[in-house]
Every structure is written in structure tokens, then in C-alpha cells.
Amino acid sequence: MSAPTRRLRRVVRRGFTLVELMVAVVLISVGLTGVIATSSAISRMMGGSVREATAASLAASRFETFRASQCAAITSGSATTRGITETWTSTKINAHTYDVLDSLSYVPISRRATVKQAYRSYVKC
């Protein structure tokens, strides 16, 4: 064979083989599966953090309500707001200071187990 014929054959044989294409498809599918699994885990975590932030906001709101009220209005109690159960207890420290413990429990979107959080603040009236 002459040199021009060899060059022509090399040009004709360029491209991907079937095995190379199959390996590429497998690698891309494994990568996409990882991305999808990661994105679902991230969305579950974000849903849980939204519930946690809501619970903290409820506790802060409860403390601010007590700070704005009279001393006689600071009593123990419970409430359920947006799927979060809140129970608070107040203990009188002295004539104008109360120790308030706010316990919250909720089930986040990402898990089935109940999460319990407790916040404590001193309220002066």
C-alpha cells in the first residue's frame, strides 16, 4: 500500500467505538444518579432547617410577649402553632424576674422522629 492510501484508511477509521460509547454512557448515568441523590438530601435538610427556624422564632416570640406583659400575665401553658407543640413553664425568681423555659417538639419534613428543643430566658417585668 502506498502512503496516501494508509492516510485515507486512518481518516475513515476515526471516531468512537461502541465500547467507548457504552463506557461514556455508564459514567454519565452514575454521575447523574449521584447528583440526583445529593439534591434530594439537600432538599430534605432545607425542609428540616425551615422547621427548626420556625420553632426558634416561636420561642423568641413567646419570650417577647412575656417581656411586654405584666408580671401577673407570666404563667405556664402550652400551644400548638404550625405543627409545632410548645410548652412553657415560668418560675418566679424574685419580685420582678421570671425564669421561663420554652420546650418545643415537632416532626421535621426530612425525618419521622420527633425533635425536641428547649429555650430558656429570664424575663424582667
Global confidence as pTM: 0.63
User: Is there a domain that residue 4 lies in?
Assistant: no
User: Is there a domain that residue 11 lies in?
Assistant: no
Q: How far is the C-alpha of 47 from the C-alpha of 45, rounded, in Å?
A: 5
Q: How far is the C-alpha of 68 from the C-alpha of 90, rounded, in Å?
A: 15
User: Is there a domain that residue 116 lies in?
Assistant: yes
User: What are 1-18's pLDDT values in tens digits?
Assistant: 566 666 655 556 677 888
User: Is there a domain that residue 25 lies in?
Assistant: yes
User: Is there a domain that residue 91 lies in?
Assistant: yes
User: Is there a domain that residue 61 lies in?
Assistant: yes
Domain count within the chain: 1
- Cα 78 to its chain centre, rounded Å, is 26
User: Is there a domain that residue 10 lies in?
Assistant: no
User: What are 93-107's pLDDT values in tens digits?
Assistant: 998 899 999 999 988
User: What are 49-107's pLDDT values in tens digits?
Assistant: 788 889 999 999 999 999 998 988 899 999 999 889 999 999 999 988 999 999 999 88
Range of the domain at 26: 16-124
| pLDDT score, position 45 | 74
